[in-house]
Structure 1
């Protein structure tokens, strides 16, 4: 099939590679290069970089408000467009341009966790499973009918980074299946019950509040790992907590109970992996060889 691919972050890259192996990618759309790194030089998105590596044409419009950009999209005469974490709301003219419309790969079991951060929010909410939906796009935010869905359990201490990689691979596999069977799949409207929205992660919510229950904080730590990373201060140094599990023990919130086990509002949390500023992630035992915890954390 003649496919337009639209994506931006690392999550989208395995999907692009899978599609390019079996279909004709007539163009790749991605967010424009943004300043990144210490020098703040413009850096192409992961999808942009991979597309160049694959020898594919890349387009980076700021939006589709201009008639020229819409006409250029339509002129590709694509059979279908595949959208995964592109980062732009597509107007109806774009959704209607490909012969078979636009399909979106969404990392949740819709209608749960529509929106920007479904993987983070599923872990942070304590969901026991999530999955991938292949959705026929329409004007609403992740409201379209679902062509294919597949569920997967969320591990007890699985991080967003780990689940991200699993769901990315799942999405790549499912979209190939969907394109193979596109003329025989029946779109299923999303139920009105059970709608939730996955708000974009705000860095301000990353700081640990030890007064919260331990179970909540375990999900908080694992759900924000590796980015932006839940954190606490140790003698003025910001320490990222990258993996945690429930532990035995009680004490005043923030009290260090031994090792890297911290008392919470109820119960206790054991930090399994952490990261000091400018250092690589380390297991708790390794990081504690060079870091002395005070009796109580803020």
Structure 2
């Protein structure tokens, strides 16, 4: 098929790569414009733009797909279908309806649960045991279109947003490649989403990342894993030179008691409002991620320490 592809982050690259390997013609790849990245904040292309350029695929990075010139350029591609994966813009009806067969989105949740921007993180933070990825025909509403295909993925007790992201990206790539022939042949059944069970995955805000040890340990553990690796839930560790910010990147809930924020042993077991969490992987400000054992060899944290 002749496809238009719209996506921006690493999650999208897995799908684009699979489409190329399956022999589909990518008429053009659309991505968000280059943005400041890294310590130097130099403008760098998105992962999708970088992949497309490396593979000789035409790329456009419009500031807005509502620009009449962009709409006309998109229509002129003569695409059979558009595949949209975490593009980062709301697409107008003129764009959605331009391809011959329509536009199809890969969304990383089991709709109608977790419509919106951060479904992977919110699923972990809510304690969901299963999630998935779905192929949805796009409409003007936010993730409201009918579903054509589903792949389910279980969420394990040590899953982070990062590990779940990678599994869902792989599932998404397999699912769209398997579904496109049915779309082309008119054999893909479209199931309207249920009216019940709608939830919204709001964008992660920086202020959410600070840990509150007074919360139940189960919630603290889910928050740590749901915000790992980015932006990273954090706390303050007291040192001789003052408090230092430390990100908690992996944890596990344990049944233990103590005053919230108190370190209960010499292996980073931290008391919460109910129960405790054991920190398994952390990152001190200005340093790289480390497993707890390595971190403690360089900076021991004694039992009784009160974390901020």
TM over 0.5: yes
In 2, the alpha carbon distance for the partners of 1:246 and 1:65 equals 47
Pairing of 1:1-298 with structure 2 (within 5 A)? 1-21=1-21, 22-182=23-183, 183-235=186-238, 236-258=243-265, 259-293=267-301, 295-298=305-308
Task: Give the structure-2-normalised TM-score.
Answer: 0.95
CA RMSD of aligned residues (A): 0.9
Aligned residue for 2:149, secondary structure, equals: strand
Unaligned 5+ runs, structure 1:
none
**How big is the shift at 1:214?**
0.3
1:268-294: CA deviations, max 9, x gaps? Answer: 110011111222211111101112336
**How big is the shift at 1:251?**
0.7
In 2, the alpha carbon distance for the partners of 1:142 and 1:249 equals 41
Aligned residue for 1:94, secondary structure, equals: helix
In the TM superposition, structure 1's runs of 4+ consecutive aligned residues that sit over 6 Å from their partners are: none
**How big is the shift at 1:152?**
1.3
Q: Is the 8 A contact 2:31 2:61 kept in 1?
A: yes
Aligned residue for 1:269, secondary structure, equals: strand
Aligned residues: 298
Q: Is the 8 A contact 2:66 2:91 kept in 1?
A: no
In 2, the alpha carbon distance for the partners of 1:50 and 1:284 equals 35
Aligned residue for 1:70, secondary structure, equals: helix
Task: Give the structure-1-normalised TM-score.
Answer: 0.98
Unaligned 5+ runs, structure 2:
none
Aligned residue for 2:253, secondary structure, equals: strand
